[in-house]
A and B are shown apart, each in its own frame.
Chain A
């Protein structure tokens, strides 16, 4: 069974620090990777996607992908209290028509 794993947290960081969220996946031929942010009581919101090995930056967010290690991470620089949320990692496995596999999410708390 294809799996995506994340530390459930909570991960607590002080305001202004870098938050590092990690995700590992089991399907070696996965091609597409996504990070969603979900505030309490709200629906998931797509914040980053990454398809190639290396780093992808978007504002304060950086996604990092290492396919050899089957590892994807999300860095949040200059963390703000408004970043406090659950972050879901989603992986699209290899093969045609494969649905996303979601991780359980990591709860991030940014302390003022």
Chain B
């Protein structure tokens, strides 16, 4: 089974800090995604990547950036954390572009910015 691992389950950071959320998948998937999930707003796509060194903005990229230096790792960066970035962050992966299989999600990181 594909495993998607997010480095932290819970994280508390201060306003203005630079925050790194790490995601690693172990099945050689091409596609990786970062979502945030908030009550009443559902899953919202922040950034995605179809290949190493490639990144595309999703629906809500403001205040975030990403890095994909290796195929298995996709990092989400909050440049200067703010309280409105308190959320559950979910990483997902899937096989190559155009594949019709479902995404596999990591266990999530619940980030609180104080």
A and B assemble together: yes
Which size class do A's interface residues fall under? 20 to 34
CA gap between A74 and B35 in the complex, in Å: 24
Tell me if A105 and B42 are in contact (CB < 8 A): yes
Chain A interface: which of B12-20, B67-75, B76-84, B99-107? B99-107
B77-114 residues with Cβ-Cβ distance < 8 A to A are 90, 97-98, 100-108, 110
Which size class do B's interface residues fall under? 20 to 34
* Partner among B45, B102, B106 whose Cβ is within 8 Å of the Cβ of A99: B45
By DSSP majority rule, is chain B's interface helix, strand, loop, or mixed?
loop
Nearest-neighbour CB distance to chain B for A87, whole angstroms, equals: 12
Tell me if A43 and B42 are in contact (CB < 8 A): no
Contact with A along B45-70 (1 / 0, CB 8 A): 10010100000001000000000000
Tell me if A100 and B105 are in contact (CB < 8 A): no
In this complex, what residue of A is CB-closest to B103? A100
Chain B residues with CB under 8 Å of chain A are 33, 40, 42-43, 45, 48, 50, 58, 90, 97-98, 100-108, 110
Chain A residues with CB under 8 Å of chain B are 31-32, 34, 36, 41-46, 49, 51, 88, 90, 92, 96-97, 99-100, 102-105
Can you identify 5 A-B contacts, CB atoms within 8 angstroms? A36-B102, A49-B101, A90-B102, A99-B58, A104-B40
